[in-house]
Structure 1
Amino acid sequence: MENRRKSFLNEVTSQIRSKEAKDRVSAELNYHVKEAKMRWVNKGYSDVDAEQKAIEQMGSPITLGIQLNKIHRPRIDWILLSLLTAVLLLGFLPVLSLGYDSNHYFLMRKMILVVLGMIVALGLMFVDYRKSVSWGWMFYGVGTLLLLSLLFFSSGTINGKPVFAFGQLTIESIAALPFFLIAWACFFNKDTFKIYQFILLFLVSLLLFFVIPSIATTYLYLAMVLSMLWWSKFSNRQKGVVSGITVGSLLLIGIFSWQYQPYYIKDRMIGFLNPGKVADGAGYQVLQIKKLISGAGWFGGSQNEQQFIPEAHTDFAFVSITYHFGWIAAIFLTLILILVLARMVIATQQVRDYFGKLLIIGSLSLLFFQIVSNIGMAFGFFPLTSMSLPFISYGLVPILLNAILIGVVLSVYRRKDLSSSAF
């Protein structure tokens, strides 16, 4: 009897190409055969006859297998992959605009980073994200341990932020974000996850980001968690209260701790709010960027190449592209980035798995706030800070972080038809 059912399942799954789909279809089909068998047993049939009836009821195993292969085959989001390729190629523009001899060095390294970013994104696409659903505490622990290690055992500092330096490779607190992304998706996915647990875990991790410190990374982490919170299973009242208290508390802390802030933070904020007042200090960079942006033409020009742009290939890559290649290039780049975000929004509507949705929401929020903040700095809407433009800014960590985010989305999308029953 078992051999008959096993033979039937093997005939069905032999028509299915994906190993992941084979396992899921076999398990679900086995369940439905047992369910159908019980109905026949209740009608008075023997176990052997009931099983035979249940199998016959399923129809031709070859036909059924072909149909299920079409339904359950893994999907590749070719649109998102195409957009990723386009934006990675556009990332060469800031390096091309550097205008000094070492740009050949940066070009070679940029090529390596682009290839590495694509490999990471494609590699993660083939990793089954669903296997991590029960590993929330492990990912939270790794993220926390990384922050504690930076706090107590860092090998140096860059712009006041502790880092681990391995030659030219540096690991900062932003490297902990992917671990916390998966951790929070795991936690929010649980029906047993309580609001007090969320508050405790959130406060501990947020405090570590504050102490590091990195304003940009803390801001991204805060935006990611609150975005995922609003997609959680908590009530709207709980979400609103927690979000309101969090944002309100941070504002009050900022106001009352203003006089104790380091000089460079005060100087940067004054330069943002009133750049003309500190035109010889922090305001100079703000005014210079505004001048470069306002002086950019539609197509740029060779006469612009002699202009100095601070951090032209990293934090101010968008300013560099706008000034050297014109508003056409800047608008095209912005459009591509918007399409990447829009494609991720569409993915949230197509994915039925709640855990997968949470992962996409967290990834989307991290990309969105990076893009808005970096471009906002160029137009004076945000204070100047170390915020990369995804896939465009030069550097290993920014490329890897955002490649991981895209890879997670591709992984979820690839299995969007494997997470729901087709019977």
Structure 2
Amino acid sequence: MSDTQYCDKVSDFLDLVCGQIKAKEIHSEIRAGLESHLNDVIEQKIKEGVHKEEAMQQAIRQMGDPILLGKQLHKVHKPKMEWGLIGLVAVFLSIGLTATYAISQGQFFSEKIMYTCIGTVLMLFLWFFDYRKFTYFSWYLYMLTLLVMVYTIIIESLRDGKLMLNLGGKIIDFISITPYLFIIALAGIMVSNRWKKQSILEKFIIFILVPVYLYIESDVTFPLLTYFLSFMILLVFSKRSWKEFVCLMTPVVVFFLVFVLGSPYRTYILLHPYDHHLDRNLQSLETIRFAGMWGHGFESPFIKSFFNIQSDMIFTYVIHSFGWFMGIVIFVSSVFFVFRIMGVARMVGDVYGKLIVIGILTVFSAQFFSHILMSIGLVPWTGIPLPFISNYSGVQFIVQLAAIGMILSIYRRKDIIKNN
């Protein structure tokens, strides 16, 4: 048997094995491993005195039935689905769709259905998509996000007092989705060689000073705080030195103090956080207090007159309609949701994937619990929509489902990609 014939036989054998394994990204690794094992067996048999051609044939026969071997390897490397996370998202979507229909009597329901379908398709696409390919575009995504923020500030399209991105008459709340985009970008940047070569001053200017300035110009607080929090957490879990962390974050604390204490108005808001939206907090708290265990039903007209009930006060509305029981369901589901994502983060060995999961977890946690706590009067009113449930921004809703798709993609490959 010539070397060419041997190569053909080995290639055919490996093709049959890999043909049974659906995770294509692991094919090259499996082929390399099996071929290396075959060569080791051949060398061992030749040392035992077996003729080279016979040793080749015995080695291939020793591997067994390629179809059966392929099926066994498929079970080991079968892509995983985080069904618990999917189930919780489905619960949130069901509550959101029901509440949207009840509030608007179908006016925005068809739009919500459309955004749900688009977001679900994108989520499934990202589940199959290899998230590691985003690393090549991390810097481009970061710079593009900054440029779109600049464009949004220059155009100055306002809706309900918020700065919006105007794309040919289509109004998009771009600023609200920037934390998600920055997280994907920063996760790739922090694991790149370019990050290691940059000085601390460069990092401070590019990743702190510039986005902070743009957030301040956009007159938003929650996305700014979310970005800060996400950046700090990613910095810690990217295994960077504490010296770098302290050098980058100390100016942030100083800037925050100067920014707040340098303005009498902002100082007053800091010292009297509830005064600015006291009526809103009391309105929500009183509505929840008198909802009872089972609520007043969707037919009650009182609650529908509240401003932005479909977004800022959706948790209040659901409790008013379904009672404290449904509020407890949402809160408990939110806690389980956060813990499920934390579980994914713990199981992922790939640093890039882990950073993405942790960053998305930070944003979702901030949104879920800020909305719930402000609704029951424990924190000042921030006007933050409840993820998957509020009917506020179609783009934000789609991005939230896309973020789940990213987490599912990372979880799907957690047993395929080696730790790094």
- 1:76-115 equivalences under 5 Å are 76-98=81-103, 102-115=104-117
Match of 1:284 in 2: 279
Tell me what 2:17 maps to.
Answer: 12
TM-score, normalised to structure 1, is: 0.84
Shift of 1:383: 2.5
User: What is the TM-score of this pair, normalised by structure 2?
Assistant: 0.85
Instruction: State how 1:4-403 maps to structure 2 within 5 Å.
Output: 4-30=9-35, 60-98=65-103, 102-156=104-158, 158-164=160-166, 167=169, 169-190=171-192, 193-194=195-196, 196=200, 197-203=202-208, 204-256=210-262, 258-259=263-264, 272-273=273-274, 275=275, 282-302=277-297, 304-307=300-303, 308-394=305-391, 395-403=393-401
Counterpart Cα distance in 2 of 1:155 and 1:146:
13
Tell me which residue corresponds to 1:409: 407
How big is each residue's C-alpha offset from its partner over 1:335-354, in whole Å with a ceiling of 9 and x where there is no partner? 11222111111111222222
Extract unaligned runs of 5+ from structure 2: none
Asked if the contact 1:289–1:319 (Cα under 8 Å) also holds between the matched residues in 2, the reply is yes
Q: Render the CA deviation track for 1:190-229: whole Å, top value 9, x for unaligned.
A: 3663362543331222322222232121122222222211
- Structure 1's unaligned 5+ residue stretches are none
Provide Cα deviations, 1:69-103, integer angstroms capped at 9, x if missing partner. 111121122221111111101113432453xxx42
Aligned Cα RMSD in Å?
3.2
Equivalent pair of 2:370/2:382 in contact (CA under 8 Å): no
More off after superposition, 12-21 vs 25-34? 25-34
Counterpart CA distance in 1 for 2:46 and 2:135 is: 37
> Aligned partners of 2:215 and 2:11: how far apart in 1?
53
Instruction: Report the AA paired with residue 383 of structure 1.
Output: P
* 8 A Cα contact 1:155 1:165, kept in partner: no
SS at match of 1:163: strand
Deviation at 1:377, TM superposition (A): 1.3
Contact 1:315 1:387 in 2 (8 A): yes
In structure 2, give the amino acid aligned to 1:146. Answer: V
**Greater alpha carbon shift after TM alignment, 226-235 vs 239-248:** 239-248
Label 1:182 to 1:51 Cα distance change in 2 as closer, same or farther (>3 A): farther
Residues 238-272 of structure 1: CA distance to partner in whole angstroms, max 9, x if unpaired?
Answer: 3355345423431332111x23x6xxx78866773
Distance 2:41 2:155 in 1: 61
Q: Is the 8 A contact 1:143 1:177 kept in 2?
A: no
Once the two structures are overlaid, the 10-residue window that deviates more, 42-51 or 210-219, is 42-51
Q: State the shift of 1:314 in Å.
A: 0.4
Q: Provide the C-alpha distance between the structure 2 equivalents of 1:46 and 1:207, rounded to a whole number of angstroms.
A: 74
Secondary structure at 1:91 match in 2: helix
SS at match of 1:161: strand
CA distance in structure 1 between the aligned counterparts of 2:267 and 2:290, rounded to whole angstroms: 29
Shift of 1:20: 3.0
How many residue pairs are counted as aligned between the two chains?
407
Task: Assess if the C-alpha contact under 8 Å between 2:291 and 2:320 holds in 1.
Answer: yes
Map Cα deviations across residues 42-72 of structure 1 (whole Å, 9 max, x no partner): 9999997887787667555344322211111
Q: Percent identity?
A: 26
> Are the structure 2 counterparts of residues 323 and 267 from structure 1 closer, same or farther at C-alpha, using a change threshold of 3 Å?
farther
